[in-house]
Every structure is written in C-alpha cells, then in structure tokens.
A and B are shown apart, each in its own frame.
Chain A
Amino acid sequence: MSFVERIIGPRVCPAEQAKNNLRYGTPGFLILIARVLLLISLFMPYWHMDLHAPQYPDNLQLTAYLNHLDGDVVEIDGLNHYIGMRPLGEAAQIERQVGVYAMIGFVLLLEMVGFIHTRWAVLLVLPPLLFPAVFLIDLHLWMSHFGMNLDPDAPLSNSVDPFAPPILGTGLIGQFKTVAVPGVGLIMATAASFVLLLSLYFHRRAYKPLAQSEP
C-alpha cells in the first residue's frame, strides 16, 4: 500500500455505499453544514464592543469583522490617544489581511475530508475547528498588548494604569463601561466547530469498521 493510499484509507464499494447511504453520507453532510456556516460567517461581525459613558448617550461601538474594524473607530482612537494607546488600526494587521483567505482555505480543506477515510481527516478538520478559540486568544493578546503598553508620554498616562480589557463580558476603564460580546460570525464559526466535532465522530463510525476489516 502506497503512502497516499494509506492516508486516503479504504474505499467503499458502490454496493456497500448504496446499502448504507446514511452511514457514509452523514459526515459529508455535516461538513457541508459547517462549510456553509463558515462561508456565511465571512460577512458577519465576529466581535462587538459597546462603550458606555455619560457623554455618549448612544454609546460608542466597535465591531470586528475578519478583515476590518467598523464603528466609532476614529472616536475611540481619539479618546485612546489621551491614555497613550496605539490606534486600533495598528492591531492585528496581518490577521485582518489573511483572515478571509485563511477561512476560504479552511473551507477548501474541508472539501477534501470526503476523500480521506482514515483518522488523518482530523488534520484537515482541526484548523477550522480551532479557529474560534484562536480568534479569541489572538484578540485577547492584542488587546492586552495594547492596553499594557501605553505611551508614557501621553496626556493622561499618569491617571490610567495599564489594563487588559475583557474580550467577553464587561470591563471598566475611566468613565467607560465596556461590554464585549461575540458577533454572529463568531457564533456561527463556533457552531461550525461543534458540527465538525460531530462529523468527525460519524466519520470514524463510518470508516473505522472498514479499515479494521481490511487485511
């Protein structure tokens, strides 16, 4: 058995396939759902923060998409300059540049899962499956990096201690209460992760007996 064959694993004969349509179809169907979820999430906000303060009766809003920031970025940057925080646009620049392509890449990888019947399929599923967690960790790292590294020469550098705003939930900085929630896109991507987990289970259930029965 060649290396490639070993990775691809056992083939299913058409008769067997026809007999157990559901068994072999389920993992592929679940993966299709995950792919659709991920593709739609490209156009959805991944993360949202509301900043409440007395003089902003409509709150300030910050919304992160995979490839751009939206909302009151200029105003928030303007306020942040007082405490010496770098402009938000300087954070996660690479991530925002490659985010969409990476996601499209993940979706293409998932296409290949249908052809691989061994446990190697996990490798293809793992990147999109872990993506939501990676997104949040990356966001947290950037936020704390920015919050902890304030310009000591900023106008109000004496009055604000370095801080790491919570990336989910509420925080307090100056007169601002921050409320951060996951966006629809992140929720969809997380849902896709669970669907992918499920698909791995069904994938194994379908192909493991085949692999074991092979000589």
Chain B
Amino acid sequence: MLKIPSVFWKRAALACLGGVVIGGQATAQSMNDVQKIAKERGLSTADLLAAAKTFTPSGMKDDYIIFSSGGHAGQVFVIGVPSMRLLRSIAVFTPEPWQGWGYGVGEEILAEGFVNGKENLWGDTHHPALSETNGDYDGQWLFINDKINARVAVIDLRDFETKQILKNPLTVSDHGGTFVTPNTEYVIEGAQYSVPWGADYAPISEYKEKYKGSITLWKFDRKKGRIDESKSFAIELPPYWHDIADAGKGISDGYIFLNSINTEMATGGIENNNPPFEAGVSRNATDYLHIIDWKKAEKVYKAGKVDQIKGFPVISLETAIAEGLLHVTPEPRSPHGVDVAPKGDFIVVSGKLDPHATVYSFEKIMKAIESKNFSGKDEFNVPILDFDSVLEAQVEVGLGPLHTQFGPDGYAYTSLFLDSAVARWTLGGSYGAGTPEPDWTLVHKTPVHYNVGHIGVAEGDTVSPDGKYLVSFNKWSVDRFFPTGPLLPQNFQLLDISGQGTEMPVIYDMPIGIGEPHYAQMIKADKLDPWTVYPEIGWDPLHQRLDPMAPRPKSERIERSGDTVEVFMTAVRSHFKPEHVVVKQGDRVVWRITNVERAVDATHGFAIPQYNINLSLEPGETAKVEFIADTPGSFPFYCSEFCSALHLEMIGYFLVEPNE
C-alpha cells in the first residue's frame, strides 16, 4: 500500500481548517449584507429562500423549458424554469415582425390556415403538445391548436419554427386538442362548439339534427415532419360541446378520453326569455366523459367504413356505436380537465361546479365495456357505462377544480379556479406507497394569485413525471404588479413542489403581458437539442433542406427576364451584396437572400420600407420574397437586427423607376 507521510495529513487538515475559517468569514460578511438588504426591502427568510431557488446568475441555464400557449397572441412562448425568463416567442398563427413571420417569410404557412380562402391572421392558441415516444416527451416536435378556427400547427424543435398549419374542414372551433398519442401516431383535435359540418348554415332550431360534434385524429408523419392529411380521419360525436381530451397511455394506450359540456343541448336565446347558455348548459347534474377506442377506430377507418364529409373521412356516429368504439359515462357537470395518471390506470376528471376530483379506473371501464354494464343510452344511442361501476374514487379538493397534473411520487395536483389555489392530493392504488398521507386525500392547498386555469408540473402529463416545479398559469394578477393601465398581465407563478405534505410554496411571479396563455408543458432542457445555426449556408427552413436556388457568396447577381427581376443577394457583417437594386415600376421582383454567416447569433434582418417587408435571416438561412414593385421611389433597405459595429452601415438602395 502506498504510504503517505503523516506530515501530509497534518498539512492537509490545516489547509482545510484555514479554508473553513476564511470561508466562514466571507460567508458571515456576505450574510450580513444579505440581511441588511433583506431588511431594507422587507424580505422574509422565505423570500430569500425563494430567491436562492430561482435566481439564475448570468450564464447559468435553466433546468426546464416551458412551451406555453400564447392565447390570442396566436403564438407559443418559450420560458426557462426556475428562472421564469421569457426566452422567445414562436410565431404561429399570427404575423410577428421580429421573426419576419408574415412579412416575407411564413406567408405560405399562414395561408394554409386561411378559412374558405379568407385571410385569417390571428389565432387563439390553447394547448401545446410536445411529441412523445413511449409516452415520454422526446423534444422533437410541438403541436398547438387554434381554438377560434379549429386549426392545428406543427412546430419543429430543431429551429423552433412553425412548419405547418392545418384547418379542420369539419368544424369551426376546437378545444380538445392538441394532445398526442403515446408515440405521436396521432395528434388529436376535438371540436368544441358544435356546428353543422364545415360550419355551414343551419337554423339553431335544427340544432339536434344538423349540428355535429366530432374529434379528429391527425396522422403525424415524423419523417416528413408534417401531419399527413391523407391518412387522417375524424369520428362523429353527439352534438354536445366537447372540452379537453387526453390520450391514454400505459395500460390505457389506444384510448382517448374526452370531456363534454352542454349534454343538455341548450341553444340559448336570452333575448327571447330562453335560459342563457350559462344556465342551460349547466342544468344537468352530470355530463358525459367520452371513451374512444382509437386503435379500433383506426381499423374501421382503414376498412373504409367512413363517409366523406367536406372531403374528409368521417366515421359516423352510427358506425362508431355499431363498432363499439365509443362509450360514455357520467361525469360531474361542466367538467374541464380530463387527465390520465402516469401509468394510464386512472383518469381524473374535474367538474368546475363540483368540488371533487373524480377518478375513474381504466380497468373498471374495460370491465364495464366487456360486460356491457350500461346504465342506459344517450339520445343518440351511445351506451352509457354505469357510473358507480367505473368510479375509483372521489377526492374533495376544493372549489372550481379544473386541471390535474402528476408528480413522480404519487401526488396529484389540481388547479382550483374559485379557491384560487393549487391542491395537492394523494393517488391511491399502486401510487399510494409514494406518499406519507393516506390514499385519495387532500394534503394541502397553496393559494395562487389569482384564478388559476391550467397548471404545469415538470413532465407532469407523461409516463414519468419529474415533479420539482409546478407553474400555476393564473388568469388574473390584480395587485401583483405595477398596474399597466386597466389591461393587466397574466401571472405565471412558480411553485416548489419538491417537498412533501404542506410544503409547496410559491417562489416566483412572472407577468405575461402578451396574449392570454392557457396550457403549457414543461420539458427537461436536456431533452431538447436545437440548432444554433442552420446546418449549411443556403438552408431553407420551411423544407429543412439546402435550397439549390439559394444565393451564395460569389454568385450574387440580378437577372431580368421580361418584367421579372430576380435578385440573388447575400448578407454578411456588415453588408448586403448587391447594394443597388434598380427595377421599373410594375416589375415583378423575386428577391432571394441568404445570410452566409456561421457564427452563433449572427442574425441579419432585411427590411424594405413602404413594401411591408421584414425578414429575420438566421445564420445560414435563405429566404425568398416576391412582390410587385408598384410604388416608385428610392428605398433604403437595411439590416433590421443589430448585427455588428457597422450595422447602421449595412444598407442598400432599392430604386423603382417610375413609369412615364
């Protein structure tokens, strides 16, 4: 054995002791400073602890990334956790000048979302869904719905850009989407307010006959990075209004669970002394949880047992019932969230007007379906599973329960809109051992500020939740921030849920002053692997490939053929080449431009005044804008993204000679 002289140990011990003493002095000194500042600013010890948990010094990166819907901003927000710093927005349904979205790039994708050929340039994004492999986020794709126009978008997480927008031909609004099946086979989009197929006209008096509910299964082609419309189909549902959906996982893989409201089929009409929707829709004590066997539905679709409606294959309600792929069971009235537990064995439903989290057992649902344990049929002959035979537990969590997410240890978390709180409660069954408290009991409620809608736990809707952090997506902020006029920001509150029992404090408030977010998902940052520059110079982000027409260094030129002028331009710090582009009024201009930079963050903008053009060209990116040079004049085009010391000098002149 190697012998170390004892003098070495003595010296080492002295060195350590010295370190402790010196370190101790330094710590005492700075703790004094901390206490002084805390006193001056009125910070409690809990505040200091929260700061220590969330403060992220310059250069330190976040452990988790949130993809948040942007509400009627029509975008997606990317936020770091625990710092709660907004990292960027992703333009989706709405033009966004910083990204050039709709000002020269993205027009063809925005146009995919036009409805009946009518320009439609805003969206109401609600529910982002990260792509999954075996029920776990894989960090490759992000889907998001647009509630107002029943559209679904596909975002590529290599460059955080929207690649596809699809308009649902059958319906006008969606809320039960987007959710993905455990291997992202399908992106699910449930219609919300029933309308006649394609939102055609029918008088409200013919509601029951003409108005339709539906759920659409969009087939995702991972290789192409696009939803394949030709392999997608829909299932007709009763003309209730349908709310949120979730895909089964684990033992319930192959099923979709979908909430409904307005099983009363109320048609409103307050002006004629009819009950207003808010009353008519909430009359019944229960609505219906829809249980859809999508694997069976896929077979039915592939067997061709579909009707073509608005050019889209639809499994009719009749077929769905006959093939046994649709069942319903009562659920507390006006439900909002339906959330499948990590193992897929329990389905948690929250009825906004009922103080319970109602938990269904998938096993019991299967038994009830097999033994045809029906308590009846609804008006459209859909078999109703007997409520008591499929119920696992009801946990009184508080007032206005909306959405549930899960921790890794057997805790479930439910947002309470009316209580303005987040409830922690225990699951039972095989999860029970993970928590010190008894099964199916409320453990704690943490007040949040205010009126929480969705909540997001780190990977909290996957097969392996991480816990640690919970973000409460609050609708109102009331007194939390400086009042920015009468329109106040929403409040994203971060809760530390790494403890047990009553320990789940709020540790950060993040105002969101752009749009009104709804759902958000939180993914471990190391699951994402985005590009920092495009792979090659001349990259076409829309198709994620090299564009053979992309201008490259030394091939810059201007070509005229007839009335068409083609510009092949490069951008590099700090010049465009060519710098003079001269055309005649009325010419069609096809302007291609490549950012030939390879340095990280060396983005160039490209803006032409009076022509409504602004591009964001990230390193390697090529773009093409086409327009008619209808306005004569002298237009300095310039780089709109501060790129270098000579950024202001990065300009050129676009000269349009007037016609005589």
Contact = CB atoms under 8 A, between A and B. Distances in A.
B307 interface: no
B136 interface: no
Interface stretch (A74-82, A122-130, A133-141, A202-210): A74-82
Contacts of B645: 82, 156
A53 to B, nearest CB: 11
A82 B572 CA distance: 11
B646 A155 contact: yes
Chain B interface size, under 10 / 10 to 19 / 20 to 34 / 35 or more: under 10
B597 A82 contact: no
A51 B649 CA distance: 26
B444 interface: no
A118 to B, nearest CB: 55
Nearest to A159: B645
B627 to A, nearest CB: 30
A155 B598 contact: no
B597 A155 contact: no
Interface in B587-606: 597-599
- A interface secondary structure, majority: helix
B598 A74 contact: yes
B646 A78 contact: no
B232 interface: no
Nearest to B553: A74
Contacts of A82: 573-574, 645-646
Interface in A158-172: none
Contact of B574 (A72, A75, A155): A155
Interface in B563-587: 572-574
A75 B573 CA distance: 10
Nearest to B575: A155
A75 B537 CA distance: 13
Residue among B574, B598, B599, B649 with most chain A CB within 10 A: B599
Contacts of A72: 598-599
Interface string A174-195: 0000000000000000000000
A80 to B, nearest CB: 11
A156 B597 CA distance: 20
B508 to A, nearest CB: 27
A155 B599 contact: no
Nearest to B572: A78
A82 B597 CA distance: 15
Interface string B175-186: 000000000000
A75 B598 contact: yes
Interface in A78-124: 78-79, 82
B558 to A, nearest CB: 22
A75 B646 contact: no
A169 B572 CA distance: 31
Nearest to B601: A55
A78 B649 contact: no
A82 B574 CA distance: 8
Contacts of B646: 82, 155-156
Interface in A42-91: 72, 74-75, 78-79, 82
B599 A75 contact: yes
Contacts of B572: 78
A156 B572 CA distance: 16
Contacts of A74: 598
19 contacts: A72-B598, A72-B599, A74-B598, A75-B598, A75-B599, A78-B572, A78-B573, A78-B597, A78-B599, A79-B573, A82-B573, A82-B574, A82-B645, A82-B646, A155-B574, A155-B646, A155-B649, A156-B645, A156-B646
Given A75-B598, A82-B574, A82-B645, 16 more contacts: A72-B598, A72-B599, A74-B598, A75-B599, A78-B572, A78-B573, A78-B597, A78-B599, A79-B573, A82-B573, A82-B646, A155-B574, A155-B646, A155-B649, A156-B645, A156-B646
Closest 6 CB pairs of A and B: A75-B599, A74-B598, A155-B646, A78-B573, A75-B598, A78-B572
